[in-house]
Amino acid sequence: MTIDKRKRRRLVTVGVLVALLVGGAVTATVAFRGGDADAAGPEQVSTKTAEITRSTLVRSKNVDGKLGYAGSYQIAGGRDGTITALPKVGDVINKGKPVYHVNGKPVPLFVGDTPFWRELVAGMSDGPDVKVLEQNLKDLGFFGGVPDEKFTSYTTTAIRNWQKSLGLEQTGRLAPGDVVVQPSELRVSKVDAALGGPAQGNVLTASGTDRVVTVDLSVADQTLAQAGAKVEVSLPGGGRSTGTVQKVGTVASSGQNGTGQGQGQGNGQDKATIPVEVSLDDPAAAGNLDGAPVSVGFTSERKENVLSVPVNALLALAEGGYAVEVVEPDGSKRLVKVELGMFAQGKVEVSGDDVREGMKVTVAGA
């Protein structure tokens, strides 16, 4: 709908309307036009134009989080002897590499979901621990077959070749304490044992090597976090990365000492939080930072394939409603009434009988 000059004269006095949209935390600046359009002379409110575009609008809520590493593992010693070498905090231990040394010999890392609880040797019964053994030996280049739960002569040969490569006695058998089996490769976060101490008890504490962001999300906002959902992560120093929600906790805890929702004066539900774990789509963007504060943008509303304009292209009409000032190819201008939809990312969804993609509109204060 195009607004004629008589209606244009009914626009109210020049000013600024700040509309706070509850729930979306979006601030929109809307210009008012006023006076007689024929007598006002050249308009100074807008100096630039923008196009009406078709795109996806996303409204998000930013929540504080902490950058770290996935998982937490307690590594216990299982050998008789003396600890003769230990890693340092921050060291990354890959599959097949020593976690620590006992009596001058390495105790390497194997990756798997089944720890070794018995001696692995020819003649033993089938089991998932055998498959973990064979899979690791295959990954390290010592087992040529298809890993399964059967211990065969090929398994014995693979163990001997692996032991030879490490300078170990070539027994063809493996005791539970000869390796450390964990669900992932490790990053050392604390060393509990001491050089010269016994190879028993807690040796070290570690995490996985995957970068994650943990968020204590207010229970009131728990619908924002859905496993598999995409988020935006703002990193220290101005870096950014997209991320994916991996885990959403189901047990709420007091948020008084959480990562900071800024709701200390709220009700009980505001203070209660649930843990949310987010993986980074670009882990390298986080560098080596650990424990650094970040901001996570959770999507609260999304609308696809809608027409939108910058919010400061809106004009409030005296009779109610809103318009945009369209700039024609010949330079002439006309006001077109619009219906407003979602506000997000500094834009507002617009619709109307005379609203089309590609139209140029004036932008106030540009």
CA distance 31 to 191: 62
Q: pLDDT per residue over 40-95, tens digit each? A: 444 444 469 999 999 999 888 899 999 999 889 999 998 899 999 999 999 999 99
CA distance 109 to 366: 60
**What is the dihedral angle through the alpha carbons of 346, 351, 356, 358, rounded to the nearest 10 degrees?**
0
Specify the CATH number of the domain 2-58+303-364: 2.40.420.20
Is residue 280 within 8 A of residue 241, CB to CB? The reply is yes
pTM of the model: 0.65
Average of per-residue pLDDT values in the chain? 85
R_g of the chain computed on alpha carbons: 32
Please give the helix or strand (H or E) that residue 138 lies within, else none: helix 128-139
Closest CA to 101 of 206, 205, 197: 197
Residue 285 per-residue DSSP state: G
pLDDT at 41: 41
| Residues in Cβ contact with 36 at an 8 Å cutoff, skipping those fewer than 6 apart | 9
Structure tokens at 307: 């027409």
Tell me the average pLDDT across 287-309: 89
Q: What pLDDT, on the 0 to 100 scale, is given for residue 6?
A: 46
Q: What pLDDT score does 29 carry?
A: 47
**Domain boundaries of the chain, sorted by first residue:** 2-58+303-364, 61-69+210-302, 75-207
What torsion do the CA atoms of 51, 54, 56, 60 make, to the nearest 10 degrees? Answer: 30
Q: Across residues 137-151, what is the average pLDDT?
A: 97
Q: Tell which residue, 326, 355, 313, has the closest CA to residue 338.
A: 355
Q: What is the DSSP letter of 320?
A: S
Torsions phi, psi for 9 (to 5 deg): -65, -20
Please choose, from the candidates 10, 44, 17, the residue with its C-alpha nearest in 3D space to the C-alpha of residue 362.
44
Q: What is the pLDDT of residue 254?
A: 75
pLDDT of residue 84: 98
Contacts of residue 132, Cβ cutoff 8 Å, sequence gap at least 6: 110, 112, 113, 114, 116, 181
The pLDDT of 291-312, averaged and rounded, is 91
pLDDT band at 299 (very low <50, low <70, confident <90, very high): confident
pLDDT at position 32: 52
The Cα–Cα gap between 214 and 61 comes to 16
Sequence letter at residue 271 = K
- Residue 294, pLDDT > 50, answer yes
Are 53 and 307 in contact by the 8 Å Cβ rule? The answer is yes
CATH of 61-69+210-302, one of 3.90.550.10, 3.40.50.2300, 2.40.30.170, 1.10.8.50: 2.40.30.170
Residues 96-138: tens digit of each pLDDT: 999 999 999 999 999 999 999 999 999 999 999 999 999 999 9
Q: What is the mean pLDDT of residues 281-304?
A: 87
The topology (CATH level 3) of 75-207 is Muramoyl-pentapeptide Carboxypeptidase; domain 1 (1.10.101)
What residues have CB less than 8 Å from 137, skipping those under 6 apart?
143, 155, 158, 159, 162
Centre a 10 Å sphere on the Cβ of residue 345 and count the other Cβ atoms it contains. 16
pLDDT of residue 236: 87
Amino acid letter, residue 41: G
**pLDDT digits 0-9 by tens, 208-264:** 999 999 999 999 888 888 899 899 999 988 888 999 999 999 888 875 444 444 434
Whether 265 has a pLDDT exceeding 50, the answer reads no
The pLDDT tens digits of the residues spanning 172-197 come to: 999 999 999 999 999 999 999 999 99
Distance from C-alpha of 199 to C-alpha of 104, rounded to nearest angstrom? 12
CB neighbourhood size of 275 (10 A): 18
